[in-house]
Amino acid sequence: MPALNEIKKSLLGLEPQELTALCLRLAKYKKENKELLAYLLFESSNEQQYIDDIRAEVDTLFDELRYVGAYKFTKQVRKILRYVNKYCKYSGLPATEVELLMHFCTRLKKTVTCSHPITVLVNVYERQLLKIEKSMGKLHEDLQYDYRRDLEALKL
């Protein structure tokens, strides 16, 4: 398999029509490629709207959660987390990751009652808080200060 640098050099030598055909072929090949391409073309210019759309979808997913047992409930929460992580990965911006993960943690904290703590979900929650802290380290100091206050409110 060729290195990424070799692929980049090869792409630079292509005509625009050939490059478009390759992008379309990649988008047809896998759903994630299509979603990433759609983000880059249509949503990356308005990051706040993108964040708001993902938050709304996460709210909908949490509203649809039903407690049918610890195992299935945990499985549903992890599915929501995979959804959030996928869209964080598409953006690649630390601020977007912090905001989406904080929203996920806020909703998870509201959804899971203290009377029925599920150890697995508590661990998931704490790992996400650590992930938020790590992403906050990549932000400007002023943003870090603002997010740090919100993060302190989320800690158990």
| 114 confidence band (pLDDT: 50, 70, 90) | low
Q: pLDDT tens digits for 3-46?
A: 999 989 998 999 999 999 999 998 998 999 999 999 999 999 99
Q: Which of 53-57, 72-76, 140-144 has the lowest mean pLDDT?
A: 140-144
Across the range 40-67, mean pLDDT stands at 94
Across the range 99-128, mean pLDDT stands at 87
pLDDT for the residue numbered 115: 54
Given a cut of 70, whether residue 84 has pLDDT beyond it is: yes
pLDDT for the residue numbered 111: 84
Report CA-CA distances (Å) from 10 to 13, 18, 33, 75, 80.
Answer: 5, 12, 20, 43, 38
pLDDT for the residue numbered 141: 87
pLDDT, averaged across the chain: 91
| 68 confidence band (pLDDT: 50, 70, 90) | confident
Distance between CA atoms of 67 and 40, rounded to whole angstroms?
36
Distance between CA atoms of 87 and 92, rounded to whole angstroms?
9
pLDDT for the residue numbered 118: 83
CA 44-108-102 angle, 5° bins = 40
